[in-house]
Chain A
């Protein structure tokens, strides 16, 4: 992976992110924010790799801290989004 290949992915993904969000009903703003937030917990992958492969105690400890924080974001984020959305469907909107 070169820097330019990474940059290519970055630019194309930015366009997709821009296009995916169109007109959104107001009551979906918060669940969508929450769902997007859960996706940003993808940083968990980085945490897993660093925590699992740390060459020093310090790197492993930092990786562990990152895994805990990122997992809270992922698990909590998806669950809260789900609860908010099921709230809507029960309320019959």
Chain B
């Protein structure tokens, strides 16, 4: 269970490194709210990320280094390529796209942890299953919702804000399915004598599927002009998804950074709404191009 650093340093060293990177995230975000310090803030924040990732890789024993390296390389090349290749005017939708990937990663990693714990100790505690269910719902909604929002900004997904009673019924249905499946995941160990029905924890992926559909139907009826606000709100969600994953994995910096983004993103969303003279509720429920008759 121990990597290179863990063999040489006391256990607190990892937590201390996480504390430092948490402070760098807070300071970075703070600097980014002022024009003169914004570039520096982004650099500080990225330094915090580098520290956290580097320490994590060196601390934990990596059983399959080739796979990890391949994942980091592929993700890094794709991310860098998109950032460099895309025109300035198209950056908002690119941010939406990146945000979707972050939310998706949180949902997938919580599922992977469930599968892993089940294969290991097999002890799926309530704290673990409940956190995983929440990460699945928030992360998946962020994933599909962000892709729809980016598509709308990019003009790929239809611009016309259409909302029908069927659309509302579908939202309620998929939310219901996700919540029921989440409840099953939490109570399952006691229902089936501690053993989910298969090693891949099928009910978890039911939550993911329902939440993915929910994300689509949540964003589709909202008008294209409101997409930056939607992306900002989904950004806040992806922070919360990361924080919830922190609860799943008992990881302090995941909780600190995720919650920081969740709260800061929420305030930023509200500020963005205000600068458009809209309220958040107006964007999400009345944002039907001035036609509220469907309500």
A-side residues, CB < 8 A to B, are: 1, 3, 6, 9-10, 13-18, 20-56, 58-60, 62-89, 93
Contact = CB atoms under 8 A, between A and B. Distances in A.
Contact of B61 (A30, A52, A58, A81): A52
Given A17-B262, A45-B253, A76-B83, A53 B63 contact: yes
A86 B35 contact: no
Given A21-B267, A62-B108, A74-B49, A14 B259 contact: yes
Contacts of B25: 39, 42
B291 to A, nearest CB: 27
A6 B255 contact: yes
B246 interface: yes
Contacts of A63: 67, 71, 109, 112
A64 B238 contact: no
B6 to A, nearest CB: 12
Interface residues of B, number: 104
Given A17-B266, A40-B257, A45-B53, 15 more contacts: A10-B243, A17-B260, A21-B29, A21-B268, A29-B272, A46-B113, A52-B64, A53-B61, A71-B71, A71-B74, A75-B75, A76-B82, A81-B32, A83-B88, A83-B91
Q: What is the predominant secondary structure among interface residues of chain B facing chain A?
A: helix
A49 B60 contact: yes
Interface of B: 1, 25-26, 28-30, 32-35, 38-39, 41-43, 45-46, 49, 52-53, 56-57, 60-65, 67-68, 70-72, 74-76, 78-80, 82-84, 86, 88, 91-92, 94-95, 98-99, 101-102, 104-106, 108-113, 115-116, 119-120, 127, 199-200, 228, 231-232, 235, 238-239, 241-243, 245-268, 271-272, 275
B95 A32 contact: no
B245 A46 contact: yes
A37 B39 contact: no
Given A75-B79, A82-B39, A86-B39, A3 B264 contact: no
A69 B102 contact: yes
A78 B112 contact: no
Contacts of A46: 106, 109-110, 113, 242, 245-246, 248-249, 251, 254
A76 B242 CA distance: 17
A52 B249 CA distance: 14
Contacts of A21: 29, 33, 264, 267-268, 271
Given A6-B255, A54-B112, A63-B109, A42 B49 contact: yes
B255 to A, nearest CB: 5
A62 B169 CA distance: 32
A51 B71 contact: yes
A67 B68 contact: yes
Contact of B228 (A30, A40, A68): A30
A76 B94 contact: yes
A62 B98 CA distance: 19
22 contacts: A10-B255, A17-B267, A33-B232, A34-B91, A36-B32, A37-B99, A41-B49, A42-B49, A42-B242, A48-B53, A48-B56, A50-B112, A52-B65, A54-B63, A65-B71, A66-B112, A69-B108, A70-B102, A76-B94, A76-B98, A77-B95, A83-B83
